[in-house]
Structure 1
Amino acid sequence: MSSPTNAEAQISELELLFSMFPNELLVDDQLALAELRDYMQGKMLSPPTSRLQFTVHLQLDAPNVVCVLSCAIPPNYPAVLPEISTRSDALYRTQQGQLNTDLQEYLREKCCGEICMLNAIEWIKEHAATYMSKETIPVEKRQTDNRIKDAICTRLWIYSHHIYNKEKRKNIVEWAKELSLTGFSMPGKPGVVCVEGPQSACEEYWARVKKLTWQRILIRHREDTTLDVTNVNMDAEIRMFQKFTNFEEKIFDVRGNKGNHMDLGQLYQFLNERECGDIFPLYFGVEGKTS
């Protein structure tokens, strides 16, 4: 369980990292950080409900290779280990998975019960290059693979038992915009998220979202379309695939005693206007009706 002592250790470590990586460290939710400070200083009696999450972009010794470290701090850290994962365009999925597995093993052996972010960063900077060399992939093949992935547009229809948490809602919107995806999210119970765009960006989005703490979340339906790579105007091809022009959070009229159920008739109308009303039965098991 979180305590002011744990909060103080978390804040002290983050301030140290800020001093070392002033331009490379990004806190995902400034409100979570502010609440943690208030709790540490006794301005809040109850522990914060939001978890502190941040990313660090590490420039490795290899030329033009960046490794992104994502970290979620549990309330009782450093008594327990943080949730740390890394990703890099220079690593294939198998390499990346092995790197993360070995990093967790190192932290379990060396850092249990102690602040460990700096140790994790140093370990990554020291060892990441060895994972890149374990499975050498020609640059030409990697570029070809990327072109093939970029030539596939994907639409993910994501279902969640509920979406209430303001931090999750913020991440859902901001990550979609960061990855240049279009679509929408509907908070409440149940929660609905749709993202569309290049396959690689959609997969990255889903990888981030599913790592958050959920009662239940899954991809209810997936659509993949291969674009015409001979077409010089790929942007036009992508626009033909898209059902949405941007990404937004949609708030419909609320229903139910607790006011946490969105008007599904308005959702159905919204989907119909974008020629995707046929997705409604996949989510709710009944044909859609407008309000």
Structure 2
Amino acid sequence: MSYLDWAGSQLAEIELLCSMFPAQDELQFLDPLAIALLRSYVEGSGSKDGPPASRPQFEIKQKMQPTGMDEMDVIVACAYPSEYPSVLPEITVRCSGLNRSQQSQLHSDLGAYLSETCLGEVCVLSAVDWLKDHLHLYACPTSAPAPNQRAPPPAQHPEVFTRLWIYSHHIYNKVKRKNILEWSKELGLTGFSMPGKPGVVCVEGSQDACEDFWARVKVLTWKKIMIRHREDIPLGGQEDDSGPAPTLDSLRKFNHFEEAMFDPHGNRGNHMDLGQLYHYLNEKGLSDVFQMYFGVEGR
């Protein structure tokens, strides 16, 4: 298939979605210009310059009520790669009724389902239908204890501070960049994301939150993404001669999470000044990470 064939399938699915979700608050396009450019490309029977660089990105907002459970707000965020549907779209799901581990498992299972059954075909509606049919499996209600029975205390696990250093071949997509910022805030993580080529992401906070963040990020469509390095430090314990026991906040190197840009340059403005990145890390006491990422000492 050609780019024109793929673009035609994308436009047809978008028109179907508009008819299936006519209310303005149900289907929201994050970049309406991208839709207009896609339509122009298809209806003009393609362009010698290739498909438009801006890719369709949208969110479907639904209220779903699994059997025997409260109604849940579900958001399905989607971005089309140029080659969709020959490759899967980038789909992330946010649900008010799921905890971190439930949401991570849902993402993993949805990705596996789409890979097995929908590759080569448009699949956004299939993803929404799958969620309606399977959401109850990830939001199982907990049984309340009998009136005279005291619920057992939750299992206690030692808390661990974690810092993840994530490397990606590139981070360009606006939806991915938005998700990285929103998920880090949602999970109470601090750190930074450097878009462009290569892409660098650092998140720090509780181990559970960092693992949840990585579970969400890694299932998106990437040319290459990996955890380059991780730091895990147990918390608590007793104060000794070296000082008070470390806490989550005392180990943080960042006050918040931000998208960091370092003098973007290049034909597409997608390369950062790595010298500025080195100084940024050095100010945080993290300059040794630079050599780990790039194989050279920073200056």
Superposed pair shares fold, TM > 0.5: yes
Q: 1:38 deviation in Å?
A: 3.1
Q: 1:283 aligns to what? A: 293
Q: 1:242 deviation in Å?
A: 1.3
> Aligned letter for 1:34?
L
Q: 1:129 aligns to what? A: 136
**For 1:142 and 1:208, how far apart are their aligned partners in 2?**
31
Q: 2:243 aligns to what? A: none
Q: Is the 8 A contact 1:95 1:132 kept in 2?
A: no
> Aligned letter for 1:184?
F
Segments of 5+ residues of structure 1 without an aligned counterpart are 231-235
Deviations 1:18-74 (CA, angstroms, capped at 9, x unpaired): 336x656565xx12x431233214598553332535354553324247466454445
Q: 1:275 deviation in Å?
A: 1.8
1:1-291 superposed matches below 5 A:
1-3=3-5, 5-19=8-22, 23=25, 30-31=30-31, 33-41=32-40, 45=47, 46-49=50-53, 50-54=55-59, 56=61, 58-61=63-66, 62-64=68-70, 66=72, 69=76, 71-75=78-82, 82=89, 89=98, 92=102, 96=106, 99-100=109-110, 103-104=113-114, 107-108=117-118, 113=121, 116-129=123-136, 144=154, 148=157, 151-228=159-236, 237-253=247-263, 261-289=271-299
Aligned length: 273
**For 2:28 and 2:153, how far apart are their aligned partners in 1?**
29
Q: Provide the secondary structure at the position in 1 that maps to 2:223.
A: coil
Q: Is the 8 A contact 2:18 2:27 kept in 1?
A: no
Q: Is the 8 A contact 2:9 2:85 kept in 1?
A: yes
Q: 2:148 aligns to what? A: none
**For 1:258 and 1:59, how far apart are their aligned partners in 2?**
41
Change in 2 beyond 3 A, CA 1:13/1:201: farther
Q: Is the 8 A contact 1:58 1:69 kept in 2?
A: no
**For 1:217 and 1:79, how far apart are their aligned partners in 2?**
21
**For 1:18 and 1:173, how far apart are their aligned partners in 2?**
27
Q: 1:185 deviation in Å?
A: 2.0
Q: Is the 8 A contact 2:110 2:127 kept in 1?
A: no
**For 1:217 and 1:173, how far apart are their aligned partners in 2?**
17
**For 1:40 and 1:59, how far apart are their aligned partners in 2?**
31
> Aligned letter for 2:51?
P
Deviations 1:108-130 (CA, angstroms, capped at 9, x unpaired): 4xx975x5544543343234435
Q: Which is further off, 10-19 or 87-96?
A: 87-96
Change in 2 beyond 3 A, CA 1:288/1:167: same
**For 2:266 and 2:115, how far apart are their aligned partners in 1?**
47
Change in 2 beyond 3 A, CA 1:173/1:143: farther
Q: Is the 8 A contact 1:156 1:196 kept in 2?
A: yes
TM-score for the superposition, normalised by structure 2: 0.67
**For 1:166 and 1:217, how far apart are their aligned partners in 2?**
17
| Higher share in helix | 1
Q: Provide the secondary structure at the position in 1 that maps to 2:200.
A: strand
* Alignment RMSD (CA, Å): 4.5
Q: Which is further off, 124-133 or 90-99?
A: 90-99
**For 2:90 and 2:211, how far apart are their aligned partners in 1?**
20
Change in 2 beyond 3 A, CA 1:273/1:125: same
**For 2:104 and 2:191, how far apart are their aligned partners in 1?**
30
Q: Is the 8 A contact 1:159 1:220 kept in 2?
A: yes
Q: Is the 8 A contact 1:181 1:196 kept in 2?
A: yes
